Each structure stands twice: as C-alpha cells, then as structure tokens.
Amino acid sequence: MAPMDLGDVQAVIASARARGTDVLERYIRKRLRNPDEAEVREAGEVALEIIETVPVFLARAAQEAEERNLAPVVQPLLDRAVIYFTRPVDLIPEMTHGLAGLLDDTYLVLRILENLDRGPTPFLDWDLEYPLTFLRSLVGPRIARDLDELSIMAMQDVADHMSSFWNQVGAEA
C-alpha cells in the first residue's frame, strides 16, 4: 500500500473546490427538508470547512501515531483513508459531484479516526460527533452505513495484518 500523501488529498480538495460550490449547494438542497437559501449556504460553508480539515486531521493522527510508537498499526488505517479519499470513483464520485463528492470521503476519514479513539486511552481525544452527524445527514443513512462498515473492515484488515505479522515474528524467534 502506498504511503499516505497529504499533497494528494489537498490536490483533490483544491480540484473540487475550483469547480465551485454550485453542485454542493444543489446536493444540499436535495438532502435538507425545505431549506431556505441561507440554510443552504451555511450548510455548504460547514461542509467545506469539515472537508478542508481532512489533511489536518490525517497529519495530526500520523504525528500522534509516531509519538506513541503506534505508526505500524495506525498508518495502514490512515493510508486506507487517503486511498479512498483520492480515488476518483467511490460512493459519491467527486468527478461528477465536485465538493459534494468529498462528503463521503470525509465521513470515512472521520469514522476511521473516531474508531481509533475507542481504545482504552483516547488516541486523539477529538469530539467528532458533530461533524459526523452533520455529514451523515448529507450523505444519507444508506451511504453512511456502507462507510461505517468500510471503516470497521479497515480496522479488521489491519488487525489481521498485525496478527499475521506477530505470528510470523514469533515463529522466527
């Protein structure tokens, strides 16, 4: 798996942003119940703010993993999140949906980070409840459920990989 490249994440965000917020606002209009224009604009601003925090969240998580000597466990999860974020085709493709296409990617990144925080000691101790609830309302329950499953599968895959690694190391000893 390729190492995490936050430059790619930033480039995807910049590309989607360069296409404007019209598609995002249309998407939000469809998802909210009878919104007025101020609500649509505000929701668009909040969505964009959350999307633009993704590289910061990923960088901070990678830094924390290094500081705690957890990079071998955490980095593969972060790499999976980056791959999903930078992949042009996913549940809501940014190629056709612009910024709205980054809502699912952002939701998945935040779910993976939230899963990391569920250990015996919080990993980042961030309150991700509001952004996740907000994004869930925009992506819808079916897509959110699929992304929740993807985040759990990513955790299981990494756990399986680490277990295999430790079994191999134990057999060599």
**Non-local CB neighbours of 76 within 8 Å, separated by 6+ positions:** 1, 157, 158, 161
Structural domain harbouring 163: 6-172
| pTM, 2 dp | 0.88
Query: How many structural domains does the chain have?
Result: 1
Examine residue 103 and state whether it is found in any structural domain, yes or no.
Answer: yes
Cα separation, 159 vs 42, whole angstroms: 40
pLDDT along the chain (173 residues), means of 10: 76 93 94 92 97 96 91 88 85 86 96 85 88 96 95 82 62 60
Tell me how far apart the alpha carbons of residues 154 and 141 are, in angstroms, rounded to a whole number: 20
Report which of 105, 146, 138 is spatially closest to residue 27, judged by C-alpha positions: 138
Tell me whether residue 1 is in a domain.
no
Q: Residue 147: name the closest of 98, 85, 86 by CA.
A: 85
